[in-house]
Structure 1
Amino acid sequence: MSIAIRQIWIIKLPTIDTKKSATILFNRKFPTVEKRAKLTNGTGYTPVPQASHVLQLLVREISQAYNASQFIPGRDGCDLPIQKPIHKICTDEGILWPVVALEKNGLLLCCLPLVEGTTQISDLTSIPVINIPSISLGMSLLETLAEYLKVTKQELPNRLLELPAFINEAAPFGLVRDGSVDNICARLLNKPCTLSKSHKLPAWRSASYKGKTSLQVCVLEHISASQCAQETWQDSSQIYGEVTCKAEFEGCGPDITLSISNQGDGLNIPQDMLIVHPCVQRADWHEHEETDGSVRNAPRRIRFSPPLEHFTLCHYTAKRLLELPIFGVYHMKPEQTKASITVQLKLSDQIKNNFELCELHIPFYTRPQISNFEGAPTQGSLSLSNNKKELIWNIGQKFNSKDQQVSLAASVTFSSSDQGLPAPSVQDAFCRGNNSYAKLNFRIQEFTHSGCCIDPKSIQVSPSTKFKLSLTREYSSADYKIWNSGGEALTTKAVDTV
C-alpha cells in the first residue's frame, strides 16, 4: 500500500466580525502521486479541480467559520456518518475522499492522501479509516505545517515563501517522512552534528543541541462545563490536561525520569486516563484502595528520551469532579428590542482565588447589534465587543467579597436593523428567544484543579549532569457555559429516578 499525499491546501479563513472571503495562501500538487492515483484507480479516478474551484467546496464543507445558519443536506443532514477530521468533497467529476482537514490559528489546512483499492466500494464511509495509514500520516503532516506556520502576521509571508523547501524535507515527492519541525529546520540550515563517531543519534533526533542545559516541564489543565439552574437539567463537566516538556541537553540525548502525582493543591482528583508520547520508555501507575472506600493514585513514574523540540509528554483526564470551580446562575429575559440580564457567580473554596484572567462573555449573535447597554456589577467593569454582539464582564483578578460571590444586573438595547453577521457556531444559531448562554473565560497560574503536579525531587537525568529546572502549572477554562435558567440548554438531561 502506497503512503503518499496527492495535494495540500492552506486557506486563510475570514474572522467572524468581517465580511471578507476565504483565500488560498498555499497550494501544492505532487504530480508523481497524482499519476499513481490515476493508474491505480482507473475509471474510478477523480481529478482534483483547480485551486480556485476547490476553495469554496473546502470552506463550505469543512470550515466552522462558514455561515452555519445555511442548511446544506449533504453536510448537515443528521443521517450522515461523522468521520471528522475526514471529509468527502463532491465535485463535478466525482468524489474526493478522504480529505483530511485541520482548522488552527485562523488557517484551514487540508490534504488529500492517496488511497488505493476503493474504487469498487460504493459506501466510502464504511471503510475503517484506522486501517489506512496515509490518513494518519496526512494528519501528522497537517499538524507539522500548522506548528511551522504558528507565527505572527508579520512573519507569515516569509514562512509561506519558505514553505516549499520545508515540504520538500517533510514530504519529498508527497511521501511523509518527518513530523518534527525542529528536525526539518535543522536540516534546512545544514546544522553540523558535533557528536563523535562512537555516539549515534536516533532518526527522530537528527540534530544535536549545543548550549546551556535546561529542562522545562509545564502542566496545562483545562475544564469544560455546561450548567443550567434548572431541576430538570444535570450539569456536566470534564477535566483534562497535558504535560508539555522542553529538554535541552548536549550529546545524543539523556534519559529523564520524573513522577506525575496528584498530591498538589486542588482536590487531589486521580487521573482516569493517561496517553503518553512515543518517546516514553516506561510508565508505572498503581491505584490504591483506602480503608474508607476512596481511591488514591500513587505517583506515576515516567522514563523517556526526549526529542529536541517542545513536545507533549502525556495527556490525562480526571472525571471524578464533584464540584464545579465556579458555580453560576444566568437569567436573561428577552423583549422585542431589549433584554434584561442577571448573573450570579460563586467561587468554590477549593479553587485558588488569584486569576490571571476572569471574564464573562454574553453573546447575542442571532439578535441585531447592541446599540446601548447599562450594567451594575458588584465588581469589575462592563464593556462591549468590537462586533457589538457580545457583552463582556471583566470580573478582575479575584473575588473580593468574603463569601466569594459576585453578581451582575444589566440591560441591553438592540439596534433596529441587523448588520448581517452570521452565528459562528451551531450552538449560537440555537440561541433564539429565551435560549442563550454566558461563557466564562478564566485562567489561573501555578494551580491545577485535580492537583496534578510534577515532583521536583523525583526528576533524574542519565547521564547525570547539572541543568536549570523550570516547573509551571496553569488551569484554564476551555468551554465553560452557563445556560439561561429561563430557556432550553444544550446539555444532558437528568434521568428521573424510579
Structure 2
Amino acid sequence: MSIRALWIVPIVRQSTADLLQDNIIFTRYFPLIEKKVRSANGEAYISLPSPTEFSNALLFELGFKDEEKFIQSRDTCQKVERKPVFEVTTPAGTVWPVVVVEQRGLLFCCLPLVPDNLTTSRPDLIQIPGVSLGFSLLCGLTDFLRQCPPSEVAQRSGDLHLYLNTAAPFGRISDVNCDTVMAKMYNKPSYLPRAQKQPSWKPVLHKGKNILYLALTENIRAIQFNKENTADTFDLYGSVSCKSDLEVALSDVTINLSYNSPESAIPMDNLLIHPCVQSADCSMLQRGETKAAPRRIRFTPPTEMFTLCHYTASGLKGPPIKAVYDMKMTDNRASLTIQLTLSDKVKNAFEYCEMQIPFHNRGIISSQDSSVSQGNTLISPDKKILVWNIGQKFPKSLNANLEATVVFTDAKSPSSFDDPFCTDQNAYAQLFFKIPDFTHSGCCIDSKSIQVSPSTKFKLNTVHEYLSAEYKIWNCNGDVLSSSVPKALLKQMADM
C-alpha cells in the first residue's frame, strides 16, 4: 500500500507543435519504494519518466493535447477505460496504473505500487490496494489545497512535502484523512486525560460546544414522456450526512431512521452504510412487503463530515410534479405549452422551483412572448434557454401553466452545447426544485431516539430536504430517448 510517485499537473490545451516547458507544478518521488520496484522487476523494470515527459504524456492521454485530431491508440471506442486509472506511455516506457483526480484545473496524479506477486501480468485493479488508497490520498490532498488558488499551488511546495511526509512517509500510505494529517502536521494538543485511550485516526479532540449535525437529503430522478407506448420512470433515493463535534476521544452514536406516518410512508428497500457503522438494520424487504419499519444505526463518527448511509425507496406511485410539454416548431418559431400538477402528497412550500426549456440546434432566442399562471419567465444569458421561475408555492388548485411563443435567429452561440438528438421537434424541459423540511418517502431522523455514549450534553441540528436530480419532460410531439427491458428478462425477473 505504497506509491512510487506523485505529480500535480496543470491542464494545458496545446498541440504537439507547441513545446511545453515547466508545465508541472509539483513532483514527489519516493526512492525507497522505487528501489523495491527495481529489485522486484529486474530486467523488466521501467524507470519513472522526468516531470516534463510525464506531464506531456498525461495531457496527451487525457485528450488535452491534439484534442481535435482522432488518434487510433487513444480515441478508439474499442479501448477500455477504467477511470480514474490510466495507462500513460512515456519515452521511458509505459507507466501503469496512474490514478488521476481532476480538481479546479489541476490534475492530481499518483503511481501506486503493484505487489510483487502481480508484476508478471496485468492484474485486476481490485487486487492492487494502492489504487484505492492512492485515490483517497489524492482526494485528501485536494481538500488540503481547497482554499488555495491553482496559480499559488506551486508556492506551497514546502507544505505539500510536509503533508506527504505525514500522510505517506517514505511513500507508504498511513493516513488519507486531511483533518487528521493536518492535526499531526501542526502538532495540535489533544487535551485528552491520560486515563482515556485515543484512536490514531482522531489525533486531536474537538474543543468547544458539543454539536451533532445530521442531514437527510432525498432526491427524485424522473423522466416523463407522455406517450402511450413509453412509460414514465422515476427513482427515489436519499442519504444521511453527519458531522460530529464532541469532546470525547471515542464516542458511539445511535440514531433511528423512522417515518412521520408509517401507514402512508414509502419503506426503504435498500440501505448502504459507511464503514464506521458498527451495527445497523440493513435487512432487505421481501417481495410484496409494504410495511415501513424504522432502521436503527449505531456508529463511531470520524472527525470530518461524512455520508453515514444511502437508501432507496422503490414504492413510489407517481412523480411529485406531473408535467406535460407540448411544443411545435414552424420555421424559426416555437409554440409551446407546459402544464404542471403538484401531487397532493407533496409539501407545497419550495425553497425554489424553476423550469428550464433549452432549445438546441436552433440558433439564439431573439424574442419570446409568454403567459404564465404562476411566476415569471426570462431568457438565459446565452439566449438558448427559456427559464420559467415558478416561485415558492403552487396555487390552491396545485396547477401551473405556461404558454409561450419563442422566435429564433440564425446566429449560433459558440459557447453553448447543442444536443445532437434535439433537432426539429425532439426537445425536453428540465425541472429544478428544493423543498425544505420534507421527504417524499416520509423518512426522517428521530431526534428523540438519538443516543451518545459516553453520555454527554450536545446540541442537535437536523436538516431534512427534498431535491430534484435529473427531472426531464420530453416534448410529446417529438421522439424521445428511451430504452426498454427485453420481455424475456422481464419474465425472468418476475419468476425470481
Q: Distance in 1 between matches of 2:187 and 2:439?
A: 41
Contact kept, 8 Å, 1:362 with 1:392, in 2: the verdict is: yes
Residues 377 and 158 of structure 1: CA distance in aligned 2, closer, same or farther (over 3 Å): farther
Contact kept, 8 Å, 1:257 with 1:301, in 2: the verdict is: yes
Q: Distance in 2 between matches of 1:335 and 1:98?
A: 53
Q: Specify which of 428, 433, 437 is matched with residue 437 of structure 1.
A: 428
1:56 aligns with 2:55: no
Contact kept, 8 Å, 1:289 with 1:296, in 2: the verdict is: no
Residue correspondence of structure 1 range 9-88 to structure 2 within 5 A: 9=8, 11=10, 26-32=25-31, 33=33, 40=40, 42-43=43-44, 45=46, 47-48=48-49, 50=52, 52-54=55-57, 56-57=59-60, 59-60=62-63, 78-88=77-87
1:142 aligns with 2:142: no
Residue 249 of structure 1 deviates from its aligned partner by 1.3
Between stretches 429-438 and 475-484, larger displacement belongs to: 429-438
Residues 418 and 188 of structure 1: CA distance in aligned 2, closer, same or farther (over 3 Å): same
Structure 1: gaps (5+ residues)? 15-22
In structure 1, give the amino acid aligned to 2:60. L
Residue 433 of structure 1 deviates from its aligned partner by 3.1
Residue 490 of structure 1 deviates from its aligned partner by 2.5
Q: Distance in 1 between matches of 2:351 and 2:413?
A: 34
In structure 2, give the amino acid aligned to 1:176. I
Contact kept, 8 Å, 1:226 with 1:236, in 2: the verdict is: yes
Note the alpha carbon deviations across 1:166-209, whole angstroms, 9 max, x for none.
34433334433222222122222221121122211112111111
Contact kept, 8 Å, 1:254 with 1:305, in 2: the verdict is: yes
Contact kept, 8 Å, 1:9 with 1:24, in 2: the verdict is: no
Query: Aligned residue for 1:18?
Result: none
SS, match of residue 60 in structure 1:
coil
Residue correspondence of structure 1 range 92-131 to structure 2 within 5 A: 95-103=94-102, 109-115=108-114, 121=121, 127-131=123-127
Note the alpha carbon deviations across 1:425-462, whole angstroms, 9 max, x for none.
xxx34333333222211111111111221111111111
Structure 2: gaps (5+ residues)? 14-21, 492-496
Residue correspondence of structure 1 range 360-375 to structure 2 within 5 A: 360-375=355-370
Between stretches 214-223 and 480-489, larger displacement belongs to: 480-489
Q: Specify which of 458, 462, 479 is matched with residue 488 of structure 1.
A: 479
Residue correspondence of structure 1 range 120-199 to structure 2 within 5 A: 121=121, 127-151=123-147, 157=152, 161=156, 162-199=159-196
TM-score (norm 1): 0.82
Contact kept, 8 Å, 1:109 with 1:142, in 2: the verdict is: yes
Residues 434 and 80 of structure 1: CA distance in aligned 2, closer, same or farther (over 3 Å): farther
Contact kept, 8 Å, 2:262 with 2:291, in 1: the verdict is: no
Residues 61 and 276 of structure 1: CA distance in aligned 2, closer, same or farther (over 3 Å): farther
1:421 aligns with 2:415: yes
Q: Specify which of 444, 467, 478 is matched with residue 476 of structure 1.
A: 467
Q: Distance in 1 between matches of 2:101 and 2:30?
A: 23
Residues 70 and 240 of structure 1: CA distance in aligned 2, closer, same or farther (over 3 Å): farther
Residues 289 and 172 of structure 1: CA distance in aligned 2, closer, same or farther (over 3 Å): closer
Q: Distance in 2 between matches of 1:160 and 1:317?
A: 45
Query: Aligned residue for 1:328?
Result: 323
1:357 aligns with 2:352: yes
Query: Aligned residue for 2:302?
Result: 307
Compute the RMSD of aligned alpha carbons.
Answer: 3.6
Residues 349 and 278 of structure 1: CA distance in aligned 2, closer, same or farther (over 3 Å): same
TM-score (norm 2): 0.83
Q: Specify which of 340, 343, 349 is matched with residue 345 of structure 1.
A: 340
Q: Distance in 2 between matches of 1:13 and 1:393?
A: 38
Residue 46 of structure 1 deviates from its aligned partner by 7.3
Residues 267 and 491 of structure 1: CA distance in aligned 2, closer, same or farther (over 3 Å): farther
In structure 2, give the amino acid aligned to 1:179. V
In structure 2, give the amino acid aligned to 1:131. Q
In structure 1, give the amino acid aligned to 2:213. Q
Residue 237 of structure 1 deviates from its aligned partner by 2.1
Q: Distance in 1 between matches of 2:392 and 2:154?
A: 37
Between stretches 362-371 and 45-54, larger displacement belongs to: 45-54
Residues 339 and 404 of structure 1: CA distance in aligned 2, closer, same or farther (over 3 Å): same
Between stretches 227-236 and 99-108, larger displacement belongs to: 99-108
Note the alpha carbon deviations across 1:1-42, whole angstroms, 9 max, x for none.
x5325333365699xxxxxxxx97844342435565566555
Residues 133 and 276 of structure 1: CA distance in aligned 2, closer, same or farther (over 3 Å): same
Q: Distance in 1 between matches of 2:11 and 2:366?
A: 31
Contact kept, 8 Å, 1:269 with 1:320, in 2: the verdict is: yes
Query: Aligned residue for 2:18?
Result: none
SS, match of residue 295 in structure 1:
coil
State the aligned residue count. Answer: 474
Residues 133 and 154 of structure 1: CA distance in aligned 2, closer, same or farther (over 3 Å): closer
Q: Specify which of 435, 438, 451 is matched with residue 447 of structure 1.
A: 438
1:269 aligns with 2:289: no
Query: Aligned residue for 2:221?
Result: 224
Query: Aligned residue for 1:200?
Result: 197
Q: Distance in 2 between matches of 1:350 and 1:417?
A: 45
Between stretches 188-197 and 357-366, larger displacement belongs to: 357-366
Query: Aligned residue for 2:3?
Result: 4
In structure 2, give the amino acid aligned to 1:417. A
SS, match of residue 255 in structure 2:
strand
Residue 352 of structure 1 deviates from its aligned partner by 0.9
Between stretches 469-478 and 256-265, larger displacement belongs to: 256-265
